[in-house]
Each structure stands twice: as structure tokens, then as C-alpha cells.
Structure 1
Amino acid sequence: MADNNGRDFIIGTIIGAAVGASLALLFAPKSGKELRSDINQGAMQVKERATEWKDIAQAKGLEWKDIAQSKSQEWLDIATQKGSQLKEKTQHVTSNVQAKIQDIRER
């Protein structure tokens, strides 16, 4: 849930920056050529910010992937260990039951 809030914040920030920059440029008293130049500069800045956020998101994604792989290997090791322990206990109990059955038969 926190990941969605962070993503929504990033998207809102980018959209807000673009809208704010566009409105500021549109209401500023400038010539058409200056206005177009300013709009292009603002669009480039927004594009650069979006690229930065994308790079950050990719880095976090790789970090989370590495954590997930590490945890899954850790859990697999634990499951394998517990499975081996259970197998040994089952074999021990089976051996004891068979020995008791043999004792009963011999009587």
C-alpha cells in the first residue's frame, strides 16, 4: 500500500510540475517566440525529472528484486532443512514401530 502512495505522489508531482510550469508561462506577458521557448524549456525540465524518477524507480525495482531473491532462497533453505528433519523423524518413528511390531510377533 505504501508503494502505491509513493508512486501516486511521484506521478502527481510530475503532472503538477508540468501544469504549474505551463500555466505560469501562459500567463506571463511575453512574445509568442519567448513563450514557445519557455514552454520548450519547461517541457525539457519535466522530461529530465521524469527520467530521473524512472531511473530511481528502476534502481529500487532491482533492489527489491535482489531482496526477494535472497529471501526466497533463505525460505527455500529453511523449508529444505525442515523437510529433512521431518523425514528423519518419520524414519525414526517408522523404525521404532516396526521394531515393536516385530517384538509383538515374536512373543
Structure 2
Amino acid sequence: MSGKDGINVKDLLIGGLIGGIVGSVTALLLAPKSGKELRGDLNEHVDVMKEKGAQWKDVAYEKGIEIGNVAKDKKDAIIDSTSGFVEVVRDKSGQLYDTVSKQAKSVKETAVAGTEATKEAAKKAAETFKSEAKDTEKELKDAADKTKEEVKDASKTAKDKTEKIVDDAKKELKK
């Protein structure tokens, strides 16, 4: 557990443990019992506190594993969606390169045929290239927006689960 929430839970655990010990010892010392009974009660309370501490440790360990698994799953999902984005960019770049190559060849052949024809072909190639670039830009933007949403959703899910785990741990501490 790290960050502000982790420190609060840790402080709460330590405070609860120390408060419980101090309260138990105070209650036992102020109670009118014989020394033998008092030692027996003290030993019994120490055993109970040890048992509770072990239970809290187990709960904290389990919650840590859960958080780690959620983070790993979300990381894998983000990597998968990002590699899909990279493939889209790679494909569109290849298509754009092919289109530009074809248009350049067409422009070169037209230049041989005449100056006027060359101007017309260059204009057409520029329009096609511009249109392809706009289409590619839109597709790239859509893919980036989708990836951004997936990352946002993954972060929210991880945050929600972490908050639930912290709440569960707080409830366990209150018991």
C-alpha cells in the first residue's frame, strides 16, 4: 500500500493495535484482581492481540495480492489496446506510402507528356494525398481517443477496486 491511503491505513492499524494494548493493560491494572488472576488475564489478552494481529496481516497480504492482480490485468489490457493502435498506424503509413508512390509515378509520367498535363496531375495527386492524410489523421485520432478511454476506464476500475480493498481493510480493523 502506497500513497496517502496506504499511510492512513497503516497509521490506523498501528494506532488500533497500540490503543488496544494500552486499553487492555489499563483495564487490567485498575481491576481489583489478585496478581495471579491479573497475570492470567494479561496473558489471555496478549494471546488475543497476537491472534488479531496475525489475522490483520493475512487480510493485508490477501488485499495486496488482489491489488497486484488487478494492476497486472489492467496493464495487459492497455498493452493489448496500444499494440492494436500501433498496427493501425503501421498499416495506414504503408497505405499512405503506396498511394504517394503511385501518385509520384503518375506525376513523373505526366511530366514527360507535357507541362500542362504535369500541373493537372500534380494538383490531383495533392488532393488525393490531402484527402488520404485527413482520413488517416481521423482514424489515428479515433484510435488514440479509444486508447485514452480504455486507459481511463482501466484506471477508474483499478482505483475503485483499490478503494474497495481499503474500505474492506478499514472494516476489518473496526471489528
TM-score by length of 1: 0.90
User: Which stretches in structure 1 are left out of the alignment for 5+ residues?
Assistant: none
Which deviates the most, 11-20 or 28-37? 28-37
Amino acid at match of 1:98: S
> Could you tell me how far 1:67 is from its partner in structure 2?
0.7
CA deviation profile, 1:74-95 (whole Å, cap 9, x unmatched)? 1111011111111111111111
Residue 90 (structure 1) aligned with residue 89 (structure 2):
no
Out of 42, 51, 54, the position equivalent to 1:51 is 54
2:28 and 2:72 map into 1 onto residues whose CA distance is 48
CA deviation profile, 1:12-53 (whole Å, cap 9, x unmatched)? 211111111011112222222222211111111111111111
Report 1 or 2 for greater relative contact order, CA contacts < 8 Å, sequence distance ≥ 6. 2
Residue 70 (structure 1) aligned with residue 55 (structure 2):
no
Residue 102 (structure 1) aligned with residue 101 (structure 2):
no
Amino acid at match of 1:67: V
Residue 6 (structure 1) aligned with residue 9 (structure 2):
yes
1:7 and 1:77 map into 2 onto residues whose CA distance is 35
1:21 and 1:34 map into 2 onto residues whose CA distance is 14
Residue 27 (structure 1) aligned with residue 30 (structure 2):
yes
Q: Is the 8 A contact 1:14 1:49 kept in 2?
A: no
Runs of 4+ displaced beyond 4 Å: none
Amino acid at match of 2:58: D
Amino acid at match of 1:46: M
Which deviates the most, 6-15 or 57-66? 6-15
Q: Is the 8 A contact 1:26 1:35 kept in 2?
A: yes
> Could you tell me how far 1:4 is from its partner in structure 2?
2.8
1:25 and 1:83 map into 2 onto residues whose CA distance is 68
2:89 and 2:14 map into 1 onto residues whose CA distance is 50
1:54 and 1:21 map into 2 onto residues whose CA distance is 21
User: Which stretches in structure 2 are left out of the alignment for 5+ residues?
Assistant: 111-175
Report the number of matched residues.
Answer: 107
Cα RMSD for the two superposed structures: 1.4
